[in-house]
Amino acid sequence: MEVEGRRGRARRQSPTVPPIFAAEETADLELLLSRAGDPFEFSARLCWRLRGLVERRVPARGLEAAPVPRAARLRFADSTTVIVKAAVPGELGRLAVAMRRASATPLACSTSPDGEAKLVLAWPGLRKGLLLRVVGLDQPD
């Protein structure tokens, strides 16, 4: 043990710890972690996950505040919950008003070139779809 500082605190030397993973396993883990940080791949997986909602036209049943600033939780009839942000300011309020009158259904989900997942919703009387940015999945409370 070495003594350090004026107060005489002891500093322990850590024993040599054998590696937990083999070298080839470490390379595989580093590859997986590097892919996890890719926003385009994340949004592509997110759109793949939401594809079932779009194909079945599962209606959105609820919209409420999310723990993320300027975002909302969008709940679907099959209990899928996503965090969304408006592509255009004020669109979340417009969606909330529309959902009081009719249910909104997803028309499409796609990945933009900048790596964001986009969800298009529609409801009766809307001329063109409402575009939302999907931040990620959320757990229902």
Q: Evaluate whether residue 60 is within a structural domain.
A: yes
Least confident range of 35-44, 52-61, 124-133: 35-44
Give the pLDDT score at 138. Answer: 83
Joined together, the tokens standing for residue 28 give 């595989």
Q: Evaluate whether residue 12 is within a structural domain.
A: no
Give the pLDDT score at 58. Answer: 94
Number of domains in the chain: 1
Tell me which residue has tokens 């969606």. 95
25: confidence class by pLDDT, cuts 50, 70, 90: low
What residues contact residue 109 under an 8 Å CB cut-off, 6+ apart? Answer: 46, 47, 50, 51, 53, 54, 117, 118, 119, 120, 134
Q: Evaluate whether residue 27 is within a structural domain.
A: no
Q: Evaluate whether residue 3 is within a structural domain.
A: no
Q: Evaluate whether residue 13 is within a structural domain.
A: no
pLDDT exceeds cutoff 70 at 49: yes
Sequence letter at residue 134: V
pTM for the whole structure:
0.69
Q: Evaluate whether residue 81 is within a structural domain.
A: yes
Give the pLDDT score at 83. Answer: 93
Q: Evaluate whether residue 14 is within a structural domain.
A: no
Give the pLDDT score at 113. Answer: 82
128: confidence class by pLDDT, cuts 50, 70, 90: confident
Q: Give DSSP secondary structure letters for 54-77.
A: HHHTPPEEEEEE-SSTT-EEEEET
Give the pLDDT score at 43. Answer: 83
Please count the helices (runs of H) and the strands (runs of E) in the chain: 3, 8
Full domain range(s) for residue 70: 39-138
17: confidence class by pLDDT, cuts 50, 70, 90: very low
pLDDT exceeds cutoff 80 at 101: yes
Nearest CA to 123 out of 89, 90, 100, 93 is that of: 100
